[in-house]
Amino acid sequence: MLDFIMAKYNYWIYIILMMIGFYGMIGKNNLVKKIIGMNIFQTAIILFFISIACKKGGATLPIIEYSHGGEHPVVHAADYLNPLPHVLMLTAIVVMVATLGVAIAIVIRLYRDYKTLEEDEILRKIS
């Protein structure tokens, strides 16, 4: 039982973070709070992907040692972390900031038109 908890507790905390972000997205009434919830949601998913790349047992960062000077050392795959999720999540972080920028532009535009950030007041003014 203790082994099971030790092997999985990271995933459980990531899921709790994702639930907090999801609640912020669909439950909060303020638009900036919704953006903050979206940020937490995306960060939790990126954290989950990064945790897939981890390897126990002496694996180091994905930078090949002793590779300068023209010689090609023999490399074992178990000595280095899995680099593929890192690359994919590098792309995802940049896309996250792009979505954040567009969301903030929409929020500023909505505030100019309706003079409020609360969702229910905006809905009342539209109808």
29 to 58, contacts with another protein by CB under 8 A?
A: 29-30, 32-33, 35-37, 39-40, 43, 46-47, 50-57
Neighbours of 96 (CB within 10 A): 18
For position 77 contacting another protein by CB under 8 A, the verdict is yes
Return the SS3 of 30.
strand
- Figure out which of the listed residues 69, 73, 126, 127 binds another protein, where binding follows CB under 8 A: 73
Return the SS3 of 91.
helix
How far is 83 from 122, CA to CA, in rounded Å? Answer: 45
Return the SS3 of 118.
strand
94 to 123, contacts with another protein by CB under 8 A?
A: 94-102, 104-109, 111-113, 116-118
Closest approach of another protein to the CB of residue 82, in Å: 5
